[in-house]
A and B are shown apart, each in its own frame.
Chain A
Amino acid sequence: MDFFTIISNNLQQFLSFTGFANVTLGNLIMILFGFLFLYLGIVRKWEPMLLVPIGFGILIGNIPFAPGFQIGIYEDGSVMNYLYFGVLKGVYPPLIFLGIGAMTDFSALISNPKMMLIGAAAQFGIFGAYIVATLLGFNAAEAGAIGIIGGADGPTAIFLSSKLAPDLMGAIAVSAYSYMALVPVIQPPIMKLLTTKKERLIRMKPPRKVSQNEKIIFPILGLLLTTFLVPSGLPLLGMLFFGNLLKECGVTRRLATTAANPLIDIVTILLGLTVGASTQATTFLTPKSVMIFGLGAASFMIATATGVLFVKFFNLFLKEGNKINPLIGNAGVSAVPDSARVSQEVGLHYDKTNYLLMHAMGPNVAGVIGSAVAAGLLLGFLG
């Protein structure tokens, strides 16, 4: 064999390893999806902390490669496979909840505990989507995993789908995070549709000042009350309330700072990237994924609608002066603080001096607890 033949053979072998030789139409479609996520995150600034890692993860997961080099996320022993372990086994979501707890101020909820009920009402989105999913032919476990998208809580969705329907986790996670980013687009039309102008102008009493002792008692009692009733929610609720106690107790400032800043940032990077990379065209581009995206949108809409309608119903029993502005009903979904911000913006559109943000934070953080409880219940029944 002469020198040039060897060079030619080597080049041919090299070319067979390149992405160009292994590319499929599915890879190209998914790479376009990755571009879309990056565009929405970077240019539109919609949830950039989530969409940028997920978008880039989609690119990583869909780079075509010659198999056998321990590169792909589904290949045993690859680096991406090790990082994906945290998603598969539900390690990352509780860590994210720890950070969320350390960042969340529950004062708005403690000062007005009846907001808890709005957080509960909005969870109907989960079960509404569950019913529709079973009607579409998904089995009970899959329907539960899909329904949780309506909780508007990415970590909870990943946690539950990793337990109930690991095969659908990529589509569920991407769907949940996409719709969380689209909260400012999805919710306002529903809020406007279901409220009258008079209702949108309701002014609420300013929340009372909450003492530090109350803030310390809340995570301790909250943990005991919720997890005694729904122990399967312990990984999420335990970490959420623990993170909040670190923040509020005042003697663990360093731990709270770590949980609320570097830790949650690191876990978000790993979670976003691996969830994005798990959307390999071969597993992601299926009719089921399309249905999951449709059901995800439906669950967000149902959750928003039930939150708003519940406030209207609740107002029937409240005296004049104590009534709740139904524009904060949408905040019952646990997309913190995006949905509360939507309440504020829609409220300001109708009355420039009516600030609803602090009032909306109450149902918003109640929604976090509510969705974790709902996830625990679904896990208990279907897991």
Chain B
Amino acid sequence: MILCFLAVLMNTQAQGIKNVRINEVLVKNDSNCIDNYGIRSGWFEVFNTGYSTVNLGGCFVTNDINNPKKYRIAKGDASTILAPRSYAMFYAYQNSDRGIFHVNFSLDEKGFLALFDQSGKVLIDSVSYDIAAQIADISFGKMENIADKEAQWTTIENPTPGAVNYTKIEETRAEKFAKTDPHGFIITITCMGVVFLLLAFLGVTFTLIGRRFKRRTERLTAKMETDAPIAQEKSTQVQHNQENNDLIAIAMALHLYFNEQHEDEPTGFYLNRGLNFSNGWSAKYQMFKKSPNRNK
């Protein structure tokens, strides 16, 4: 029973790997995606067309039909597990030291690419191409992501590494703009116009605000100048009264002191209160408390 179970499991796994297809290939990479090391190189993408998880670990990829085991995808790494309907990207610049997804061959050597199963004997998928006909940054791929091996290979002007190969090329806004204005004269006139208009509008707004504030400041200054003599007179009077008040206060204090009618200031009250109302957080004595010492 266990043997049957294992056989079924292995068969399922083998079935799963057959659902993997080489989906897109870019041979010449001038301005397309870079790898984790900042390097632009040829790349290819495999796609799990099935609805079960597939482990690529142990499978082989090669660019030489006579050497199917040229590059073995390492086993035992979670990154080789391909979820249903998902993609894996391989970079090809003859540097397999850079991780599982960096193969030890390049795509501009043979014009052939193949994926073999874990035994290295069963061909899963392959593609042949003319190296000389490859154009930089234009990939070729299967335009429909279906399991059918015969799905048509076609050139993809906007490569889609690690994503669905669109059959319909969507133009970016910049590309659309470039079509109507290839040398940028229209965008220059438009943008300079808007920048001028905006800053001119801002300038006019603040000219008006500035004038208003300037008039207000002038009005206030004029008013201050008009009120200046009255204000000065008032100020002198207040100063005079202030001096009188000071003298009266000093006289009263002296009178009370000499007749011993004054009260003693209860200095101790604040200290006592401070200690009485203190707690562990605020009491000063806490700060002077010695750290416990070990008894000798």
Contacts and interface: CB of A to CB of B under 8 A. Distances in A.
B99 interface: yes
Contact of A117 (B98, B200, B205): B200
Interface string B166-196: 0000001111011001111101101110111
Given A139-B178, A141-B174, A282 B194 contact: no
Given A144-B174, A229-B194, A374-B195, A134 B200 contact: no
B134 to A, nearest CB: 20
B32 to A, nearest CB: 9
B183 to A, nearest CB: 5
A185 interface: no
A120 B196 CA distance: 5
Interface residues of A, number: 62
- Residue of A113, A280, A282, A369 with most chain B CB atoms under a 10 A cut-off: A113
B198 A225 contact: yes
A143 to B, nearest CB: 6
Interface string B129-159: 0000000000000000000000000000000
A221 B97 contact: no
18 contacts: A67-B37, A67-B97, A75-B36, A76-B36, A117-B200, A119-B199, A120-B199, A124-B188, A130-B184, A131-B188, A164-B174, A210-B210, A366-B199, A369-B202, A374-B195, A381-B187, A381-B191, A382-B177
Contacts of B51: none
B242 to A, nearest CB: 31
B206 interface: yes
A226 B177 CA distance: 24
A197 interface: no
Given A117-B203, A373-B198, A374-B191, A131 B183 contact: yes
Contacts of B172: 141
B199 A369 contact: yes
A8 interface: no
Interface string A112-123: 011111011101
Nearest to A130: B184
A59 to B, nearest CB: 16
Contacts of B217: 211
B201 interface: yes
Nearest to B183: A134
Interface in A206-247: 208, 210-211, 213-214, 217-218, 221-222, 225-226, 229-230
A373 B191 CA distance: 9
A141 B207 CA distance: 37
Interface string B2-32: 0000000000000000000000000000010
A135 interface: yes
Contacts of A226: 198, 202
A113 B173 contact: no
Contacts, number: 155
Interface of A: 66-68, 72-76, 109-111, 113-117, 119-121, 123-124, 126-128, 130-131, 133-135, 139-141, 143-144, 164, 167, 208, 210-211, 213-214, 217-218, 221-222, 225-226, 229-230, 280, 282-283, 366, 369-370, 373-374, 377-378, 381-383
Contact of B210 (A113, A144, A283): A113
A264 B45 CA distance: 43
B213 interface: yes
A366 B199 CA distance: 8
A68 B174 contact: no
A38 to B, nearest CB: 22
- Residue of B174, B182, B185, B209 with most chain A CB atoms under a 10 A cut-off: B174
Given A131-B183, A139-B174, A280 B38 contact: yes
B205 A225 contact: yes
Nearest to A222: B202
A381 B173 contact: yes
Contact of B209 (A217, A280, A283): A217
Given A130-B188, A140-B175, A382-B177, 9 more contacts: A67-B37, A67-B97, A68-B97, A72-B36, A109-B206, A130-B184, A167-B34, A222-B202, A377-B195
A140 B198 contact: no
B204 interface: yes
A190 B7 CA distance: 81
Contacts of A382: 173-174, 177
Given A116-B199, A134-B183, A230 B194 contact: yes
B39 interface: yes
Contacts of A211: 213, 217
B234 interface: no
A75 B34 CA distance: 11
Which are the 10 A-B pairs with shortest beta-carbon distances?
A: A113-B203, A127-B188, A116-B203, A141-B174, A140-B178, A116-B199, A382-B174, A74-B38, A140-B174, A120-B199
A158 B217 CA distance: 43
B201 A377 contact: no
Contacts of A139: 174-175, 178
A124 B177 CA distance: 19
A129 to B, nearest CB: 10
A74 B195 contact: no
A79 B263 CA distance: 72
Nearest to B33: A167
B110 interface: no
Given A130-B187, A135-B183, A382-B177, A283 B34 contact: yes
Contact of B200 (A74, A120, A135, A222): A120
Contacts of B205: 113, 221, 225
B214 interface: yes
Contact of B202 (A116, A130, A144, A381): A116
A208 B174 contact: no
A378 B191 contact: yes
